[in-house]
Amino acid sequence: MKEKLAALNDRISLRVKLTVMSIALIGLLLTLSSFGTISLLRTYLQENTDTLLTSTAAALADEEPLLLEERLALRQITLPRLPSDYYIAFLDSNGSLLFGLVSSANAKNAVPNLNAFTLEAVMATEGRPFDIEVSSKSGYRDLGSWRIVAKPLTRANGSIVIALPDVTNARLIAQYGAIGTGFGFFLLTLSGLAIWLTITSALRPLREVERTAAMVAAGDTSQRLVDADKNTEIGRLNGSLNSMLDSIDNAMSSRNKALDQMKRFVADASHELRTPLVTLRGYTELYRMGALKKKADIDEAMGRIENESIRMSELVENLLALARMDETFELTK
């Protein structure tokens, strides 16, 4: 499995790897940012809801339930600005409803069942907001989660309950999440395109390096890369490669020059060897034919043969020396 993954990784281009890694990192940062923002928004909305509930409960805890409707009609009580789906209930000590105020926006009378909110249960909450899953008064339909504050009444034996459904905050958070998700995908797509174009532009000099290397491999060692700013990675790479190509070009020039010299030397040596060989062959033919009968003629012929032999020995030694130099050049080039 690891070998397959390694082989797959080797087949993926550097541009694709960099683009995918960059998009993945940006996506991770966007996701973390979205979660953090939604968490902060949820905390802010809940704190705002708790403030409204607590201040409303504190304002109504001192009121007489039977006189509250009249005082509200005469605008003798100033309440905090509640959302449109609030529910205010005055309960007796057993949790039975004495008086309830339902928002005009709540036309379906969808209010929670508060029969379990006896005075002892209300006092146990100590006036702190809390969430509760409640159902409607008829009990057949789930109303979801509500944020509730309950406080004992100071002028009557009972309690007041201020309730707001969490559905409004949940919808706002869901809407923000949907907008954030859509914008995140748009930003991720735009970032991916920009990163792809940027990496493509940044890797374009490497294509020039590839083209130059291919031409050098084909035998054209005169090719060079374009000089770039030495403070950049591409500039330093091009400079190093150009220096290497200069060394290769110089080595090839030196080798070609040495080969030319060797060819000329071999041609000259062949010509030089031909002359003594012809001389040797001529004297041996004369001797075989019996033309050298006098001792002086034989001595002269033997002397000429000896001189030509020495000359050929020197030429052979020079050829051997040249062969040794060529072997040394092959090992050290």
In this prediction, residue 140 carries a pLDDT of 43
Q: Tell me: pLDDT of 136 over 80.
A: no
Domain positions in the chain are 63-168, 233-332
pLDDT digits (tens, 9 = 90+) for 179-211: 988 998 999 999 989 998 888 887 777 777 778
Q: What is the pTM of this model?
A: 0.59
Class of domain 63-168: alpha beta
Per DSSP, 308 falls in state H
Nearest to 172 by CA among 38, 291, 263, 48: 38
> Which residue, 273, 297, 277, is CA-closest to 287?
297
Please provide the average confidence, as pLDDT, over all residues in the chain: 78
The whole-angstrom separation of Cα 144 and Cα 131 is 10
| CATH number given to 233-332 | 1.10.287.130
Give the confidence band of 170 by pLDDT, cuts at 50, 70, 90.
Answer: confident
- Rounded to an integer, what distance in angstroms lies between the CA atom of residue 318 and that of residue 45? 100
**Tens-digit pLDDT profile for residues 234-273:** 777 777 887 888 887 788 787 778 778 777 777 777 777 7
